[in-house]
């Protein structure tokens, strides 16, 4: 049994982790740079964070993003769980191939195509573009990711648990709520987190489906970044990275504790 790192493995792990984390680390360090020139170190300062919080445009974009993320992740998780259940359990044989195709296709579909097609749909049904259309778009791809996460747990779920619940007096619906749901709950939480993160992260689909007055944070960042690197964006990125890292670490600790219990 391997109990130690071989030098080759240690080297590739070190280089690999450096490759993955150095760019992010540099970004974080330079967010505390006094200088306006992002590549020249001018001393430690937190002034760009102050600037950030005084920037109305960023704040309102953040608020839009948060609302889109919360609503779309929640609906996407609900629909995704139902979809996973239909795929794995309910044996919807007719149209099952088409259904599973529609679930898996958005996972590999280039975002430009998904974005374009949704936009053209909204236009052709005469729907005003704005925060609602972004939410609808994010629900659509979010539910596909959510359903993949939930169905991988459902596949491993012993179907006789549900039968046992029925045998002990549950209707199929009661069996779902008293047995299936608690058992797959961790996967549902993971699915929500994934849908939420993807929504927060999305630039391309939001750009296609948004309208006047609905600018998400990635759209705002993108328009700034096209003009060049700015310390304010570094500060914003650092905050986002911080939030996400804390969230992921907390989630994994909670998962570990649940596993121990």
Partner 1 sequence: MTRTLGSRILVALPYLWLLVLFLAPFLIVLKISLSDLAVSRPPYTPHLDLTAGWAGIKAFFAALDFENYTFLAEDSLYINAYLSSLKIAGISTLITLLIGYSIAYALARAPRRWRPTLVMLVILPFWTSFLIRVYAWIGILKTEGLLNQALLSIGLIAEPLTIMNTNTAVYIGIVYSYLPFMILPIYATLEKMDESLLEAAADLGSSRLAAFFLVTLPLSMPGIVAGCFLVFIPAIGEFVIPDLLGGSNTLMIGKTLWVEFFNNRDWPLASAVAILLLLLLIVPIVLFQRQQMKQEIGT
Partner 2 sequence: MTPPFAPWADPDAKPLIEIRNVTKRFGAFEAVRDLSLAIHEREFFAILGPSGCGKTTLMRMLAGFETPSEGEILLDGQDLSPIPPAKRPVNMMFQSYALFPHLTVEKNIAFGLKREGTPKAEIAERVTDIMRLVQLTDFARRKPDQLSGGQRQRVALARALVKRPRLLLLDEPLGALDKKLRQETQFELMGIQETLGTTFVIVTHDQEEAMTVSSRIAVMRAGELAQVATPTDLYERPDTRFVADFIGEVTILDGIVTAASRGGVGLSVMEGAPDLRIITPHTPPAGTQAWLALRPEKVSISRERPADADNALAGKVLDIAYLGNISTYHVALPDGSIIKAQESNRQRADRRGITWEDPVWVAWEEDAGVLLLA
**Contacting positions for partner 2 (CB under 8 A):** 158, 160-161, 163-171, 174, 178-179, 182-183, 261
Nearer to partner 2 by C-beta: 18 or 164? 164
Q: What is the size of the binding site for partner 1 (CB under 8 A)?
A: 85
Q: Is 196 within 8 Å of 151 (Cβ atoms)? A: no
> Minimum distance from CB of 126 to partner 2 (Å)?
48
Q: Which region, judged by CB under 8 A, interacts with partner 1, from 43-51, 52-60, 136-144, 183-191?
A: 136-144
Is there binding between residue 8 and partner 1 (CB under 8 A)? yes
> Minimum distance from CB of 182 to partner 1 (Å)?
19
Residue from the set 150, 221, 232, 235 that interacts with partner 1 by CB under 8 A: 221
Q: Which does residue 46 touch among partner 1, partner 2, none (CB within 5 to 8 A, set by kind)? A: none
> Minimum distance from CB of 162 to partner 2 (Å)?
8
Q: Which does residue 83 touch among partner 1, partner 2, none (CB within 5 to 8 A, set by kind)? A: partner 1
Selection from 81, 65, 98 nearest residue 205 by Cα: 65
Is there binding between residue 39 and partner 1 (CB under 8 A)? yes
> Minimum distance from CB of 172 to partner 2 (Å)?
9
> Minimum distance from CB of 188 to partner 2 (Å)?
13
| Window 179-208: residues binding partner 1 (CB under 8 A) | 197, 200-201, 203-204, 207-208
| Window 102-131: residues binding partner 1 (CB under 8 A) | 102-106, 108-113, 116-118, 120-121, 123-124
> Minimum distance from CB of 49 to partner 1 (Å)?
16
Q: Which does residue 127 touch among partner 1, partner 2, none (CB within 5 to 8 A, set by kind)? A: none
Three-state SS string over the chain comes to: CCCCCCHHHHHHHHHHHHHHHHHHHHHHHHCCECCCCCCCCCCECCHHHHHHHHCHHHHHHHHHHHHHHHHHHHHHHHHHHHHHHHHHCCCCCCCHHHHHHHHHHHHHCCHHHHHHHHHHHHHHCCCCCCHHHHHHHHHHHHHHHHHHHHHHHHHHCCHHHHHHHHHCCCCHHHHHHHHHHHHHHHHHHHHHHHHHHHHHHCCHHHHHHCCCCCCCHHHHHHHHHCCCCCHHHHHHHHHHHHHHHHHHHHHHHHHHHHHHC
Q: Is 204 within 8 Å of 141 (Cβ atoms)? A: no
């Amino acid at each position: 049994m391997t109990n130690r790192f071989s030098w080759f493995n240690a080297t590739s792990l070190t280089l690999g982790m450096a490759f993955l984390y150095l760019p992010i680390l540099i970004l974080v360090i330079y967010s505390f740079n006094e200088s306006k020139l992002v590549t020249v170190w001018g001393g430690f300062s937190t002034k760009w964070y102050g600037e950030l919080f005084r920037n109305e445009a960023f704040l309102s974009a953040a608020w839009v993003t948060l609302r889109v993320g919360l609503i779309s992740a929640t609906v996407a998780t609900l629909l995704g769980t139902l979809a996973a259940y239909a795929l794995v359990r309910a044996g919807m044989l007719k149209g099952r191939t088409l259904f599973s195709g529609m679930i898996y296709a958005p996972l590999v579909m280039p975002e430009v195509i998904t974005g374009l097609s949704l936009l053209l749909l909204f236009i052709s049904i005469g729907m005003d573009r704005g925060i609602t259309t972004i939410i609808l778009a994010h629900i659509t791809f979010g539910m596909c990711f959510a359903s993949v996460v939930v169905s991988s747990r459902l596949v491993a779920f012993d179907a006789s648990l549900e039968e046992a619940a029925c045998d002990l007096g549950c209707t199929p619906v009661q069996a779902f709520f008293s047995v299936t749901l608690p058992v797959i709950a961790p996967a549902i939480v993971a699915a929500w987190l994934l849908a939420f993160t993807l929504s927060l992260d999305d630039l391309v689909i939001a750009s296609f489906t948004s309208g006047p007055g609905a600018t998400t944070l990635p759209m705002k960042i993108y328009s700034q970044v096209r003009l060049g690197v700015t310390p304010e964006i570094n500060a914003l990125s650092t905050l986002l990275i911080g939030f996400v890292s804390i969230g992921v670490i907390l989630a994994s600790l909670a998962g570990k504790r649940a596993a121990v219990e």
